[in-house]
């Protein structure tokens, strides 16, 4: 209902009493969240799964996909290339999460975002600092600017400065360049982390709201704001931590909770796009449709592994795991199972 799809939209659709009964007959299974191991075991050998999988965090699931000879398209693995943009679900969902973050933060602030002039004086605009200027961060900057806030943006990739400035924000330059592969930032060294922390402390202390969006694929979210920096923030300041699903970008973040740490309210929202279910569903459906049309020709599945989108997105195929890091994670649980059986 929250996505506004009513019962009438499903007229003529076959239903099953259990997920297992449904997927057992399907050639292609579409999902959003990683499926359960039980659901994968119910799929017929050689079937195709399209879903977020997060293989490094779900080795038991990947083992089940391998053992079932399932061809698994992991949506988080869509390559960051021009021709794959229409299939990039991470970006489409991140844009919604970024849009929503300042709105969520504004509800928890004891003040307004824009400047306001009244008969008894003027209220100054709030300062919003966005840390991490990928798709989510830039979307957050745009929303905060539209709401009338003074906006600042920070990223370890200097090339994002122009993008932030085009949205009306001031770019915070720390002098550290951490450009990585695939459009992501690399992990900072301890020395670089100290340099960044020192340069950002003043901006953190002056912010009325901070939105953090930093993520490293397959790894815990990096800590951007320390407990010491939180203690130095303004009373009533709010942090919206979009990195909460990967552990959080702040030392005080509790995933799925809203907590008060000293003078600051820290929000650790999970599955933020679900708060905008209608558009989240529309965008994800289009992403998946564009991917399906890439390998379904004349009603038949035709996988071309010379296609960089297919090669980059498929995680398991014909009993093989196509990512070395994920394969090693699965081998660890395979070894544990063998030792336990001895």
Across residues 75-97, what is the average pLDDT?
Answer: 97
Are the C-beta atoms of residues 154 and 174 closer than 8 Å to each other? yes
pLDDT tens for 182-191 read 666 677 788 8
Q: Which residue has the tokens 């400047």?
A: 115
Q: What share of the chain is helix, strand, coil (3-state, %, to 5)?
A: 45, 15, 40
Give the single-character DSSP code of 244.
G
Architecture of the domain made up of 108-270: 3-Layer(aba) Sandwich (3.40)
- The β-bridge relationship of strands 258-261 and 238-241 is unpaired
The residues assigned a catalytic role are 80, 85, 88, 91, 184
Residue 83 has pLDDT above 70, yes or no: yes
**What pTM did the predictor assign?**
0.89
Q: Where are the domains of the chain?
A: 7-83+276-341, 108-270
Say if 7-83+276-341 and 108-270 have the same CATH topology. yes
Helical ranges in the chain per DSSP H? 19-23, 37-42, 59-67, 89-107, 135-146, 160-166, 190-206, 227-231, 277-295, 308-313, 324-341
Pick the CATH number of 7-83+276-341 from 3.40.50.720, 2.20.25.90, 3.30.2130.30, 3.30.420.40: 3.40.50.720
Residue 181: the pLDDT is: 63
Read off the pLDDT of residues 113-168 as tens digits, 9 standing for 90 and up: 999 999 999 999 999 999 999 999 999 999 999 999 999 999 988 899 999 999 99
pLDDT at 149: 99
Looking at residue 20, its pLDDT comes to 81
Q: What's the pLDDT score for residue 326? A: 95
The predicted structure's pLDDT at residue 13: 80
Average pLDDT over all residues of the chain: 93
Q: pLDDT of 215-247, one tens digit each?
A: 887 788 989 999 999 999 999 999 999 999 999
Note the pLDDT tens digit of each residue in 288-333: 999 999 999 999 999 999 999 999 999 999 999 999 999 999 999 8
pLDDT given at position 2: 67
Return d(Cα 240, Cα 97) in angstroms, integer. 11
* Cβ neighbours of residue 3 closer than 8 Å, sequence gap 6 or more: 277, 278, 280, 281
* Interatomic CA distance for residues 158 and 123, integer angstroms: 33
What are the distances in angstroms from CA 266 to CA 92, 224, 241? 25, 13, 7
Give CA angle at 35 (212, 7), nearest 5°.
95
Question: What's the pLDDT at 71?
Answer: 98
Give 14-56 pLDDT, tens digit per residue.
Answer: 777 787 888 998 999 999 999 999 999 999 999 999 999 999 9
pLDDT bracket for residue 1 (50, 70, 90): low
Q: In this structure, what DSSP letter does residue 249 have?
A: S
User: How far apart, in whole angstroms, are the C-alpha atoms of residue 140 and residue 185?
Assistant: 18
Interacting residues of 28 by C-beta distance below 8 A, sequence separation 6+: 47, 48, 49, 50, 292, 296, 301
Position 342 scores a pLDDT of 52
Contact, 33 vs 52, CB < 8 A?
yes
Three-state SS at 224: coil
């Amino acid at each position: 209902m929250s996505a506004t799809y009513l019962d009438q939209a499903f007229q003529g659709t076959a239903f099953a009493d259990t997920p297992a009964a449904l997927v057992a007959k399907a050639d292609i299974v579409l999902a959003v969240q990683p499926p359960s191991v039980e659901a994968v075991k119910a799929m017929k050998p050689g079937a195709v799964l399209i879903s977020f999988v997060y293989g490094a965090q779900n080795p038991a699931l990947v083992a089940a996909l391998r053992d079932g000879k399932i061809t698994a398209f992991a949506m988080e693995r869509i390559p960051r290339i021009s021709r794959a943009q229409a299939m990039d679900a991470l970006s489409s969902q991140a844009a919604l999460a970024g849009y929503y973050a300042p709105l969520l933060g504004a509800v928890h602030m004891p003040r307004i975002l824009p400047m306001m002039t009244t008969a008894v004086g003027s209220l100054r605009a709030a300062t919003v600092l966005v840390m991490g200027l990928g798709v989510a961060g830039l979307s957050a900057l745009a929303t905060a600017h539209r709401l009338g806030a003074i906006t600042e943006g920070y990223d370890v990739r200097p090339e994002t400065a122009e993008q932030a400035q085009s949205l009306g924000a001031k770019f915070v330059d720390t002098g550290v360049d951490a450009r990585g592969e695939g459009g992501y930032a690399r992990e900072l060294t301890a020395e670089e982390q100290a340099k960044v922390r020192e340069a950002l402390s003043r901006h953190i202390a002056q912010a009325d709201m901070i939105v953090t969006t930093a993520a490293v694929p397959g790894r815990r979210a990096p800590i951007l704001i320390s407990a010491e920096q939180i203690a130095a923030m303004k009373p009533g300041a709010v942090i919206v931590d979009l990195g909460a699903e990967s552990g959080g970008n702040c030392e005080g973040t509790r995933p799925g909770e809203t907590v008060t740490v000293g003078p600051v309210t820290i929000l650790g929202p999970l599955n933020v796009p679900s708060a905008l279910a209608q558009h989240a569903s529309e965008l994800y459906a289009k992403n998946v449709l564009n991917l399906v049309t890439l390998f379904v020709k004349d009603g038949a599945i035709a996988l071309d592994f010379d296609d960089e989108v297919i090669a980059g997105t498929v995680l398991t195929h014909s009993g093989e795991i196509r990512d070395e890091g994920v394969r090693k994670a699965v081998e660890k649980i395979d070894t544990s199972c063998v030792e336990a059986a001895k």
